């Protein structure tokens, strides 16, 4: 009886540990990655609150992250899994206006809170900046496109539309493994850097990324909130 109790206790512990693991979206050899400089909305929330996400002070100190954590905790744990499959390059046809930051409510709505306009924390930038993207599995890219919202767009009140964006940088194909190896213990893989210019901007804006991973038809998307000085 004693050994049976020990066995049952071990089974409960193992099952509990499995339930606490982040839920990763299914995919074929999923690449995984996102904007890390400037940080995407969910990566920024994970950076700031991943070790303290139940702290009620977040509601007043970082209210947009608070509503995102309340909506779906796994959207932050899986900050690098915001993608769609089989888009075939038809990004505007697949992702409706107002749903750009959630990739058209991908992941059964897991990332819907990313679409909510509001006072998201911003990264301070000049209008000439280096965009940094995390490529966890070193899959490279068919291309990376970086958009910046047009002057006059109000990120605190307006859900993001395609017409709000202007394409400001696009890469060609990036071979697997190309990039700067990560040194942070919380990241694996490489950082891919893209030089971007966004003339005529000032104040709050959104930088929008499309990363077409090269190993499979997986399209990754990210909204990063910035402030141009």
For the stretch 66-104, pLDDT in tens is 999 999 999 999 999 999 999 999 999 999 999 999 999
Q: How confident is the model at residue 25 (pLDDT cuts 50, 70, 90)?
A: very low
Structure-model confidence comparison of residues 188 and 17, the more confident one: 188
User: Which pLDDT value is given to residue 30?
Assistant: 53
User: What mean pLDDT is predicted for residues 187-201?
Assistant: 96
- In this structure, of 59-73, 121-135, 209-223, the range with the lowest mean pLDDT score is 209-223
3-state secondary structure of 63: helix
Q: Residue with structure tokens 């003339």?
A: 199
CB of 41 within 8 A of CB of 224?
yes
**Domain ranges, ordered by start, for the chain:** 32-228
- Look at strands 203-213 and 218-228 and give their pairing: antiparallel
pTM of the model: 0.86
Average pLDDT, the chain: 89
Going by C-alpha positions, the residue among 121, 145, 152, 131 that lies closest to residue 35 is 131
User: Which pLDDT value is given to residue 183?
Assistant: 87
Architecture of the domain spanning 32-228: Distorted Sandwich (2.70)
Over pLDDT 90: what percentage of the chain? 80
CB of 190 within 8 A of CB of 82?
no
DSSP assignments along 26-41, one per residue:
P-TT---EEEEETBBH
User: What mean pLDDT is predicted for residues 48-59?
Assistant: 97
Question: Which residues have CB under 8 Å from 153's CB, separation 6+?
Answer: 164, 205, 206
């Amino acid at each position: 009886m004693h050994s049976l109790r020990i066995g049952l206790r071990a089974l409960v512990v193992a099952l509990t540990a499995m339930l606490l693991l982040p839920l990763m979206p299914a995919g074929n050899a999923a690449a995984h990655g996102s904007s890390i400089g400037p940080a995407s909305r969910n990566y920024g929330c994970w950076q700031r609150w991943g070790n303290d996400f139940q702290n009620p002070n977040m509601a007043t100190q970082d209210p947009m992250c608070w509503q995102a954590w309340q909506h779906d905790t796994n959207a932050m744990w899986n900050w690098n899994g915001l993608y769609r499959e089989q888009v075939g390059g038809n990004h505007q046809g697949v992702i409706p206006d107002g749903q750009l930051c959630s990739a058209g409510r991908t992941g059964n709505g897991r990332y819907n809170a990313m679409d909510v306009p509001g006072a998201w924390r911003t990264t301070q930038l000049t209008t000439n900046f280096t965009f940094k993207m995390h490529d966890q599995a070193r899959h490279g890219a068919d291309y990376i496109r970086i958009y910046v919202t047009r002057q006059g767009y109000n990120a605190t009140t307006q859900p993001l539309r395609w017409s709000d964006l202007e394409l400001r940088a696009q890469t060609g194909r990036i071979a697997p493994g190309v990039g700067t190896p990560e040194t942070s213990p919380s990241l694996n893989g490489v950082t891919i850097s893209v030089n971007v210019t966004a003339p005529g901007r000032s104040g709050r804006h959104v930088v929008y990324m499309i990363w077409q991973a090269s190993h499979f038809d997986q399209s990754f998307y990210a909204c990063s909130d910035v402030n141009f000085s």
